[in-house]
């Protein structure tokens, strides 16, 4: 047996630095002229939304620990304050790059394609008249201007609400002191209105004006009696972590509802303000919100780039967006009478969005409509506001036993989940909120049916993604529909665990967190290492969103040293350091960022030729393995295992268009290839449409570029 690997900080990348690197890979998609123009705008908006969440959760958490006196050194040897200082520098650099992309690349390209985002001074007479009419009828009635003085304290600024600050001076002569004083005026831009105002324009043209520019242009009417000395848009980001005291609450639902109210009032952790803002305005806002200078982010353009998503959705230019495609519809065997009959004959594996999500929706709807189905159970983490699944569960409650486990603390979906929970309860559904202290993140549905042959059977859906038909169109996920008694018995046992915290041996066919999953993954990795030492074929292919769990990483290092070939496809955070001689030289890490958000989790273990493949809801992160209820399920059918290897993993391993390789120094570089770029996602679209075949996958799997740290850094910057 090899010696245990020392737990050295140099063996691991920083979680937060790795996340910032991921967001930079998204920004690269906005910068890439090979992508359709409006999709580039969308990618830029996504980077801003991602950074918002990072600040209000991760940065806010660090500030909270520092304030509470827990400024301890982490495994990298840095204190929380030192880590925060390092990240702040990276974030300021990133914001500058975001606005450089907007100003120097996207705005000119949009104008070239006759899409203009204009300032008030650029509008012609007709456009100004149209915008002014819109302001008077739709905007002005929603505005509440406030001046800050002894009788008017600073208004409560909501989290991430766009506001306008005005430096004002009284025109009327009165008290000499008042005449000299400059005061601050604040107006909140209404969230109920679109952030971009469409202007009249000629054929083939789309002109827009930012809503805050329109309000600024009419500010004189709001602050009559004042001279407006300067004006600037700003936005604050607040600490949005939920700090629940569950043991003191009457219910988890009440606890979450109360804490959501507090979230809107959390401490400010970031101020974004236009770089053209008067120094006096910036300083007054900074002092009011009790921020250090490093927490002030000056933007060379519109504050809150995430609102550029409106530009994408409001511009009907399909030629500037990804081409639409039609997902494959499930075809039942002509001898099958319905989906249940089909599932008695075989398991069904789906790869969304290339395979239509309608099959999963149809499974739930069939359960609600079929009189032979007597019981339905489902977990809900996130879903759409008008989900057909939600309606099916409400309808089923009239005639069946319906149980739903709703995760109230799905981040930033808490409000909607509370509403769903109450609506379901009102309809007669038994609603549970899982186990105190554990998020319910597994994706499970279980139907019990009295079949025509007189046998009562269970039918299950297990997935890697949320029950959300909307996101299923642009997230890649795996679904398994099955009547396999070993799987369905395990799903039944998991529901008992969620509703009664009852542990069982029946879910042994599944990997269940926090009970068995971590140990089982370690066992599977160790088994590959044992095979390699014995001279048998050994490999691991794992695809996930994030890789952070130290015990898993150290097990992978040990397996690499034992001779196991390991390919990891990790979209986002990765703390594992690949390609280090004597540590991880047989480990390769790819990240794929493209048209679809890579969300499927697939784990493949060679097992000396008797390959085992698992899919599920969990990443290799501490929160997934120890702080959530997660389920990873085996793909038992040999044909389906081959389908996963050939139609899913093989294209991703061959991708050279959207892949970035993680280098030993933490840089991500694109693969060097003389052949035409191969995009796994585009191939899978063509495969679904019948315009491609497996033979089109490049025969030579892309290999990591052989570069040293300095070369890798140079290539990344290039």
pLDDT at 174: 57
Containing 26, the helix (H) or strand (E) segment is helix 15-31
- Round to whole Å and give the CA distance between 156 and 148: 12
Phi-psi region of 712 (alpha: psi -120 to 50; beta: other; left: phi over 0): alpha
- Round to whole Å and give the CA distance between 96 and 300: 8
* Cα 451 → chain centroid: 40
Q: What is the pLDDT of residues 13-25, one digit of tens each?
A: 989 999 999 999 9
H helical segments located in 584-701: 622-626, 638-643, 650-654, 680-688
Question: Is residue 302 pLDDT above 70, yes or no?
Answer: yes
- Round to whole Å and give the CA distance between 482 and 463: 11
Q: What is the pLDDT of residues 231-272, one digit of tens each?
A: 999 999 999 875 444 333 345 555 544 444 444 457 899 999
Q: Quick count: other Cβ atoms within 10 Å of Cβ 250?
A: 7
Half-sphere exposure of 185 (CA within 13 A, CB side): 23
- Round to whole Å and give the CA distance between 644 and 600: 11
Say whether 322 sits in a helix, a strand or coil.
coil
Peptide bond into 514 cis (omega under 30): yes
- Round to whole Å and give the CA distance between 233 and 163: 6
Find residue 378's DSSP bridge partners. 404, 445
* Interstrand relation of 162-170 and 182-188 (parallel, antiparallel or unpaired): antiparallel
Half-sphere exposure of 148 (CA within 13 A, CB side): 18
Minimum mean pLDDT range among 129-138, 215-224, 294-303, 692-701: 692-701
pLDDT band at 672 (very low <50, low <70, confident <90, very high): confident
The domains located in the chain, with CATH, are 11-320 (3.30.1840.10), 339-508 (3.30.870.10), 513-717 (3.30.870.10)
From the list 351, 433, 441, 599, the catalytic residue is 441
Q: Quick count: other Cβ atoms within 10 Å of Cβ 60?
A: 21
What's the DSSP call for residue 437?
Answer: T
- Which of 442, 477, 468 shows the shortest CA–CA distance to 598? 477
- Round to whole Å and give the CA distance between 238 and 291: 12
Cβ-contact 558, 529 below 8 angstroms: yes
pLDDT band at 409 (very low <50, low <70, confident <90, very high): low
Q: What is the pLDDT of residues 39-67, one digit of tens each?
A: 999 999 999 999 999 999 999 989 988 88
Q: Quick count: other Cβ atoms within 10 Å of Cβ 498?
A: 22
pLDDT at 385: 60
Cβ-contact 702, 653 below 8 angstroms: yes
CA atoms 677, 679, 685, 689: torsion sign: positive
**pTM for this structure?**
0.90
Terminus-to-terminus CA distance in the chain, angstroms?
A: 43
Cβ-contact 529, 502 below 8 angstroms: no
pLDDT at 428: 86
Tell me the average pLDDT of the chain: 89
Alpha carbon separation from 313 to 53, 307, 309 (Å, rounded):
22, 10, 6
- Which of 502, 460, 504 shows the shortest CA–CA distance to 485? 460
Q: What is the pLDDT of residues 515-529, one digit of tens each?
A: 999 999 999 999 999
pLDDT at 711: 36
* Greatest Cα pair distance in the chain: 94
Question: Is residue 291 pLDDT above 70, yes or no?
Answer: yes
Measured at the alpha carbon of residue 559, what is the angle toward residues 556 and 563, in degrees to the nearest 5? 140
pLDDT at 621: 97
Cβ-contact 575, 18 below 8 angstroms: yes
* Torsion angles phi and psi, residue 23, rounded to 5: -65, -30
What's the DSSP call for residue 684?
Answer: H
pLDDT band at 173 (very low <50, low <70, confident <90, very high): low
- Round to whole Å and give the CA distance between 305 and 296: 16
- Round to whole Å and give the CA distance between 320 and 114: 12
Count of residues making up the chain: 718
- Round to whole Å and give the CA distance between 696 and 714: 32
Say whether 9 sits in a helix, a strand or coil.
helix
Cβ-contact 328, 352 below 8 angstroms: no
Q: Please list the helix, strand and coil fractions of the chain in percent, rounded to the nearest 5, in that order.
A: 40, 20, 35
Mean local confidence (pLDDT), 313-337: 93
Cβ-contact 493, 507 below 8 angstroms: yes
* Cα 306 → chain centroid: 14
What's the DSSP call for residue 36?
Answer: -
Half-sphere exposure of 317 (CA within 13 A, CB side): 18
Find residue 539's DSSP bridge partners. 565
| Annotated catalytic residue 441 | yes
- Round to whole Å and give the CA distance between 438 and 441: 9
* Interstrand relation of 206-210 and 115-118 (parallel, antiparallel or unpaired): parallel
Q: Where are the beta strands (DSSP E) in 483-601?
A: 511-513, 539-544, 565-570, 587-592, 597-598
Q: What is the pLDDT of residues 453-507, one digit of tens each?
A: 999 999 999 999 999 999 999 999 999 999 999 999 999 999 999 998 887 777 7
Question: Is residue 587 pLDDT above 70, yes or no?
Answer: yes
Which of 29-38, 379-388, 666-675 is the most confident on average? 29-38
Containing 431, the helix (H) or strand (E) segment is strand 430-432
* Torsion angles phi and psi, residue 448, rounded to 5: -110, 125
């Amino acid at each position: 047996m090899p010696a245990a690997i020392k737990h050295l900080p140099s063996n691991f990348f920083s979680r937060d630095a790795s996340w910032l690197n991921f967001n930079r890979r998204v920004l690269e998609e906005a910068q890439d002229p090979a992508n359709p123009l409006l999709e580039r705008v969308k990618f830029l908006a996504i980077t801003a939304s991602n950074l918002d969440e990072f600040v209000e959760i991760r940065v806010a958490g660090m500030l909270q620990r520092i304030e509470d006196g827990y400024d301890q050194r982490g495994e990298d040897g840095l204190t929380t304050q030192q880590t925060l200082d390092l990240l702040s520098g990276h974030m300021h650099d990133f914001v500058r790059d975001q606005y450089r992309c907007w100003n120097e690349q996207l705005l000119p390209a949009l104008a070239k394609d006759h899409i203009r985002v204009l300032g008030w001074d650029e509008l012609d007479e007709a456009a100004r008249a149209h915008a002014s009419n819109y302001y008077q009828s739709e905007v002005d009635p929603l505005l509440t201007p406030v001046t800050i003085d002894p009788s008017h304290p600073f208004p409560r600024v909501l989290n991430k609400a766009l506001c306008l600050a005005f430096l004002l001076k009284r025109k009327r002569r009165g008290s000499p002191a008042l005449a000299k004083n400059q005061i601050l005026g604040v107006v909140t831009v209404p969230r109920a209105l679109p952030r971009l105002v469409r202007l009249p324009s000629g054929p083939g043209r789309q002109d827009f004006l930012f809503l805050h520019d329109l309000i600024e242009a009419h500010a004189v009417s709001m602050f009559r009696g004042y001279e407006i000395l300067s004006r600037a848009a700003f936005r604050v980001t607040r600490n949005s972590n939920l700090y629940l005291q569950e043991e003191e609450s009457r219910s988890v639902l009440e606890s979450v509802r109360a804490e959501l109210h507090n979230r809107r009032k959390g401490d400010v952790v970031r101020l974004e303000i236009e770089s053209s803002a008067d120094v006096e305005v910036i300083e007054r806002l900074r002092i009011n919100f009790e921020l250090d200078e490093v927490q002030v982010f000056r933007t060379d353009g519109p504050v809150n780039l995430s609102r550029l998503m409106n530009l994408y959705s409001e511009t009907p230019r399909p030629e500037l967006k990804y081409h639409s495609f039609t997902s494959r519809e499930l075809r039942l065997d002509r001898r099958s009478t319905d989906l249940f009959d089909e599932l008695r004959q075989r398991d069904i594996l789906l790869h969304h969005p290339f395979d239509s999500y309608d099959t999963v929706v149809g499974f739930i709807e069939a359960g609600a409509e079929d009189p032979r189905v007597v019981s339905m159970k489902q977990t809900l983490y996130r879903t759409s506001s008008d989900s057909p699944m939600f309606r099916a569960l409400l309808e089923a409650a009239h005639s069946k036993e319906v149980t739903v486990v709703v995760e109230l603390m799905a981040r930033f979906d808490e409000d909607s989940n509370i509403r769903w929970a109450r609506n379901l309860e009102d309809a007669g559904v038994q609603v549970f909120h899982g186990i105190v202290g554990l998020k319910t993140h597994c994706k499970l549905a279980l139907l019990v049916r009295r079949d025509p042959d007189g046998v009562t059977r269970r039918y299950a859906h297990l997935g890697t993604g949320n029950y959300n038909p909307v996101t299923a169109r642009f997230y890649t996920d795996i679904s398994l529909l099955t009547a396999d008694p070993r799987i369905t018995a395990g799903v039944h046992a998991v529901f008992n665990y969620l509703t009664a915290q009852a542990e069982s041996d029946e879910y042994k066919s599944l990997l269940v967190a926090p009970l068995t999953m971590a140990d089982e993954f370690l066992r599977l990795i160790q088994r590959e290492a044992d095979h390699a030492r014995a001279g048998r074929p050994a490999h691991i292919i794992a695809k996930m969103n994030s890789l952070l769990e130290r015990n898993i990483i150290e097990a992978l290092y040990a397996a690499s040293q034992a001779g196991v070939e390991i390919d990891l496809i990790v979209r986002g955070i990765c703390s594992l350091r690949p390609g280090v001689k004597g540590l991880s030289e047989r480990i390769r890490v790819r990240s794929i960022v493209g048209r679809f958000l890579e969300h499927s989790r697939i784990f493949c273990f060679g097992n000396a030729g008797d390959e085992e493949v698992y899919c599920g809801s969990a990443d290799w992160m501490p929160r997934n393995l120890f702080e959530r209820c997660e389920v990873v399920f085996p793909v038992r059918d040999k044909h389906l295992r081959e389908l996963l290897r050939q139609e899913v993993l093989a294209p991703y391993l061959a991708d050279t268009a959207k892949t970035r390789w993680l280098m030993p120094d933490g840089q991500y570089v694109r693969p060097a290839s003389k052949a035409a770029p191969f995009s796994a996602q585009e191939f899978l679209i063509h495969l679904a449409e019948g315009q491609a075949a497996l033979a089109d996958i490049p025969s030579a799997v892309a290999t990591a570029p052989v570069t040293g740290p300095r070369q890798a850094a140079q290539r990344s910057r290039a």
